[in-house]
């Protein structure tokens, strides 16, 4: 069973959205389930700060030893920060996907986008756990 914190929102593509102290800014990464499926992450390609993304635009790629996957941005917005620590230690995504393994912070453009996301129960059903 993978961890699916109840206070986060999710996409069907296995990204999560975590609210931050700043109401307009969210933290985005991939779920515990996703990192488990991918296996040992070896590289994460992230956008530049300031990049403007539409909802479900690909914002990067994540590479494991045997698989590679696109990363999709759950909400439209502008990238305010990227997790530079992943460059040196991509395995953070495996060890702590919801914490130190986060990927980008995003200034949300359209709060209505939140309605398109899945709650933890819905995500749990989606992955069949």
Partner 1 sequence: MPTARASLFPADRFVTRHIGPSPDETQAMLATLGYDALDRFIDDVVPPDIRLGRPLALPPGRSEREVLQALRGLAAQNQLFRSYIGMGYYHSFTPQVIQRNIVENPGWYTAYTPYQPEIAQGRLEALLNFQTVVADLTALPIANASLLDEATAAAEAMHLTEAVARPPAGAAPLFMIAEGCHPQTIAVVRTRAEARGVQTVVADPASFEFRPGVIGALVQYPTTDGRIEDYQEVCRKAHAVGALVTAATDLLALTLLKPPGEWGADIAVGNSQRFGVPMGYGGPHAAFFATREEHKRHVPGRIIGVSRDAAGRPALRMALQTREQHIRREKATSNICTAQVLLAVMASMYAVYHGPEGLRRIAQRVHTLTVLLASALTRLGYRVVHSHFFDTLCIEVESWTLPRLVDAARARRMNLRTISPTRIGISLDEGTTLGDLADLVAAFSLNEVLPFMVEDLGAKADTAIPEALRRASRYLTHPVFHRYRSETEMLRYIKRLEARDLSLTTSMIPLGSCTMKLNATTEMVPLSWREFNRLHPFAPREQATGYRTLFRQLEDMLAEITGFPRVSLQPNAGSQGEFTGLLVIRAYHRSRGDGHRTTCLIPTSAHGTNPASAVMAGLRVVPVHTDAGGNIDLEDLRAKATQHQDTLAALMVTYPSTAGVFEASIRQICEIVHAHGGQVYMDGANMNAQVGLCRPADVGADVCHLNLHKTFCIPHGGGGPGMGPICVAAHLAPFLPDHPVVPLRQEQPCGTVAAAPWGSAWILPISWAYIALMGREGLVEATKVAILNANYLARRLAPHYGVLYTGPHGLVAHECIIDTRPFKQSAGIEVEDIAKRIIDYGFHPPTVSFPVPGTLMVEPTESESKEELDRFCDALIAIREEIREIEQGTQARGNNLLTNAPHTLADVIADAWDRPYSRERAAFPAPWTRAHKVWPAVGRVDGASGDRNLVCVCPPMAAYALAAD
Considering beta carbons, is residue 39 or 111 the nearer one to partner 1?
39
What Rg value do the Cα atoms of the chain yield, rounded? 13
Q: In what order do the strands lie in the sheet with 41-45?
A: 41-45, 58-64, 68-72
Contact residue for partner 1 among 22, 40, 121, 122 (CB under 8 A) = 40
**Per-residue tokens: 48:** 């530049």
87 lies in the site for partner 1, by CB under 8 A: no
Answer whether 2's CB lies under 8 Å from 129's CB. yes
63 lies in the site for partner 1, by CB under 8 A: yes
85 lies in the site for partner 1, by CB under 8 A: no
- Residue ranges in contact with partner 1 by CB under 8 A: 39-43, 45, 63-68, 90-91
């Amino acid at each position: 069973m993978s961890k699916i914190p109840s206070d986060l929102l999710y996409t069907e593509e296995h990204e999560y959205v975590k609210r931050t102290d700043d109401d307009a800014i969210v933290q985005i990464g991939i779920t515990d389930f996703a990192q488990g499926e991918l296996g040992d992450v070896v590289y994460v390609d992230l956008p530049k700060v300031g990049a403007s993304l539409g909802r479900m635009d690909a914002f990067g790629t994540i590479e494991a030893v045997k698989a590679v996957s696109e990363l999709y941005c759950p909400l439209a917005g502008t990238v305010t920060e990227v997790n530079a620590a992943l460059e040196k230690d991509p395995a953070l995504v495996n060890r702590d996907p919801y914490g130190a393994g986060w990927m980008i912070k995003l200034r949300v453009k359209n709060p209505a986008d939140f309605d398109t996301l899945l709650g933890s129960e819905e995500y749990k059903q989606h992955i069949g756990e």
